[in-house]
Chain A
Amino acid sequence: MSDHSSSRAIHEFLAEAEEIIENLNRGLVSMGEQVESGEIDPDTVNAIFREAHSIKGLSGMFGFDDISQLSHQMENLLDSLRLGKLSLSRQMLEVLFQGVETLARLVSGKADDDAFQLDLGPVMALIENLLEGEPDPAADLLDGIDLDSSLLNVLTEYEEHRLRENLSRGRRLLLVKANFSLASFDQELAELTDALKKTGELISTLPSPGDADDRIGFQLLVGTDRELSEVSAAIDRDSVKFEEVHRKPPSSGAHPTTANPTVTNAEVEDVATGSELTDPVAGADEQAASLRSFSRTVRVDIEKLDNLMNIVGELVLSKGAIQRIAEEIKDKVSNDLAADLHKATRGLERRLDELQAGVMEVRMVPISQLFDKMTRIVRRVANEHGKSVSLDIRGAETELDKLIVEDLTDPLMHIIRNAIDHGIETPEERKSAGKEERARISLHASQKGNHVVIEVQDDGRGIDPQRVRQKAIEKGLISSEVVLSREEVHDLLFMPGFSTRDEVSDLSGRGVGMDVVKNNIAALSGMIEIDSEPGQGTTMTITLPITLAIIKALIVRASGQTYAVPINSVLETLMLDPAVIETIERREVIELRNSTLPLLRLSEAFDLPLNEHHEEKLFVAVVGLAEKRLGIVVDELLGQQDVVIKSLGRTLSFVKGIAGAADLGSQRTILVLDVGGLMSEALRAEVGAHV
């Protein structure tokens, strides 16, 4: 490792490397789509090449020789591709995907331990094989054009290749010359560039000293199928001149012709007009403005945002306290001052809400960050199992808290791996079942109120309820007499110990680790449900809150203990006469608008001592996630409040039914209920009751 390797610098490198890998992956996916259509976009290939080039250079600086070697080989392969020495094949795309996958594993491994290593032999050998097939470059076409050497000399190898490519396709080469004021050239050049790209391929942009001290000149080389007059009409800018770059006559020793005829929209003498020619060089403000980056993005460590969120949370609590005091003063002392204080707290509340929303928004990232990773998983796992799978992604722009997205990676990966491994049939099986040989997995995200719903759907063999039931009986999870609905059978898959590794190949294997997946999702206050049609496929639906940091909660009390219930799970609250509670199959239920609502007494769920005094009335918080409903029975409802959730930490993460702790602002800490967890425990108990 070089002396560049302070831990902060390494952290920065890994963050950028992760971003580069995501870009590589995205680029390869779009290149894959282009393979289908047979038309490869040179910009895509070049962008991917540049990403590989960047990660190679960076990893070398940090002494990560393995990342550097692999990205170097990938860069060579991409270089040959972009320079036209190799053409893109399915096999090459596969190898590149494997390379990116390996890079991703290396980077994530080194994030935990910088000594992490992988065997790169196989993937390096694959790349090597492809590179050995490299043919000699074709005869040079560049000798055949009448282009000034000052332009030829600044073309990178890639730009030279693009120029050859345009020539070999018989496209017309145009040289576009423009002169702009230094004060505004960036905008004008960007406009010109955009307009030119609509008429053909922009190969190179060469800046040169302008025709006056405060001006800058540009020569842009464009390959196009259009006539020169057509392009100049499309651009329609007075100060832009167009020349056609002619091909030399085929005789050897041709003399370059002198200046080509030029076309201008107007032979403009650049007459100085005051405003255009002032160079904003004086004044510190202008200097600062001139150094502004074009990029409007700031990369921030999520911990800093957590910190900010905590401060906002504390402010919310302080605001609550001030509001209470203001209310009291208003009630006791009725004067102008009290009214003003009350008004001021309302103003504070509005601003604080905005601040809170702003910080939340900063934490939000599109779920595409996660879905993009899944494309790699699908590709790899499908290849490993000899299955043909297409991935259909929808709703990738849906936004979620960055931390939730991170924590969702493993469960989602597990679900997808399971779907391919056990759910999807081999192409032969699918053919004989009258299905398309290529299976389909669709990954669909959408926002519903304060929740995000992620559906993972496959069109595989589905789950056989008979076999799941049989397995549960063998394992002693249910008795053999019991009759279960399809939904109850699916819930069995989430029971710990439902399946064990040595029986993965037996039945569909869908239960492998599903209890872990469920717990991980529950830890995010989320919920997972299964729906499956034998022979048709399986859908896993994950419902998650958009953010975890500050929530509105319903404060309840049971057996003298106070708890917070996240309000976004509460559908309604009821006052309940204990006399209307019925018991069906040892479960307490009530009739609510013509349907049966199962009840869960919070005191019983947490083994709290029951209240001594006779229950005259009880309260119910009806909670719901996805399609399920449950009535949580408590002694009192104390009202709504903003609470800041704090994690219980790893040591207490095993506690079922609790999502975290919250500060009530009056020096009291209460527990926040994990509604998803409580619901699945309670509703599973219905299944358990059959044992």
Chain B
Amino acid sequence: MAAKILIAEDSPTMRSLIVSTIAALGDYEIVEAANGFEALRILPREKVDLVITDINMPDINGLELVSFVKNNPNYQNTPLFIISTESSERDREKGMALGADAYLVKPFSPEELQSLIRQYLPQEA
């Protein structure tokens, strides 16, 4: 059973970059959400093993999503990464305080993301 990763990011280009970076790692299933709203719909319906979210999204932002995941008994143990830019340091700190497991600062290299994923979702040999 391949591990499932949920990506919440409103920029389609950034989303497809993340998807292709993960695809290069091999056997992961990817579910995409174009905003926080969509991520909320997906979470109860899919058994997600990892969440990767942007912070700045319309309507429901990344911090609100982190809070929802980490306060929910169903998902609180699901690892969650935040993606943010250099300038949103305060928001990033807040995200980590809310229980995010790791963060990536844009622009990040594919290797950075890949090594984080390997760390949190080791694939069976």
Residues of A whose CB lies within 8 Å of any CB of B are 2-4, 9, 12-13, 16, 50, 53-54, 56-58, 60-61, 63, 68, 72, 75-76, 79, 150, 153-157, 159, 182, 185-186, 189, 193, 204-209, 214, 216, 279-281, 287, 290-291, 293-295, 299
Number of B residues, CB within 8 Å of A: 50
Top 7 nearest A-B pairs (CB, nearest first) are A60-B107, A57-B106, A207-B68, A154-B63, A16-B13, A61-B107, A209-B72
Contacts of B12 in A (CB 8 A): 12, 16, 299
Please state if A290 and B107 are interface contacts (CB–CB under 8 Å): no
Chain B residue at minimum C-beta to C-beta distance from A151: B67
Q: List 22 A-B contacts (CB under 8 A).
A: A3-B109, A50-B58, A56-B106, A57-B11, A58-B11, A58-B13, A58-B14, A61-B108, A150-B71, A154-B61, A154-B98, A156-B55, A185-B41, A186-B37, A207-B40, A207-B60, A207-B68, A208-B72, A209-B71, A209-B74, A291-B31, A299-B12
Please name 10 further chain A to chain B contacts, defined as beta carbons within 8 Å, in addition to the given A61-B14, A279-B45, sorted by A numbering: A4-B20, A4-B21, A12-B13, A58-B13, A68-B107, A150-B67, A153-B94, A207-B65, A209-B68, A294-B35
Contacts of A208 in B (CB 8 A): 67-68, 71-72
Please state if A159 and B87 are interface contacts (CB–CB under 8 Å): no
Contacts of A75 in B (CB 8 A): 85, 87
Please state if A293 and B38 are interface contacts (CB–CB under 8 Å): yes
**Residue among B11, B56, B73, B109 making CB contact with A156, cutoff 8 Å:** B56
Contacts of B88 in A (CB 8 A): 156-157
Q: A195 to chain B: closest CB distance in Å?
A: 15
Q: In the assembly, what is the distance between CA of A76 and CA of B89, in Å?
A: 13
**Residue among B11, B17, B72 making CB contact with A54, cutoff 8 Å:** B11
Q: In the assembly, what is the distance between CA of A63 and CA of B38, in Å?
A: 30
**Residue among A56, A189, A293 making CB contact with B34, cutoff 8 Å:** A293
Please state if A204 and B64 are interface contacts (CB–CB under 8 Å): yes
Q: In the assembly, what is the distance between CA of A209 and CA of B46, in Å?
A: 16
Contacts of B17 in A (CB 8 A): 4, 9, 61
Q: In the assembly, what is the distance between CA of A185 and CA of B38, in Å?
A: 11
Please state if A294 and B37 are interface contacts (CB–CB under 8 Å): yes
Please state if B11 and A16 are interface contacts (CB–CB under 8 Å): yes
> Chain B, 10-43, contact with A by CB distance < 8 Å: what is the 0/1 string?
1111101100110000000001001101101110
Contacts of A56 in B (CB 8 A): 85, 106
Q: In the assembly, what is the distance between CA of A45 and CA of B78, in Å?
A: 35
Q: In the assembly, what is the distance between CA of A216 and CA of B67, in Å?
A: 13
**Residue among B20, B38, B40 making CB contact with A9, cutoff 8 Å:** B20
Q: Known: A207-B40, A287-B45. Is A153-B11 also a contact (CB below 8 A)? A: no
Please state if B68 and A4 are interface contacts (CB–CB under 8 Å): no
Q: Known: A53-B56, A153-B94, A294-B38. Is A79-B64 also a contact (CB below 8 A)? A: no
Please state if B16 and A2 are interface contacts (CB–CB under 8 Å): no
Q: B57 to chain A: closest CB distance in Å?
A: 9
Please state if A76 and B44 are interface contacts (CB–CB under 8 Å): no
Please state if B56 and A281 are interface contacts (CB–CB under 8 Å): no
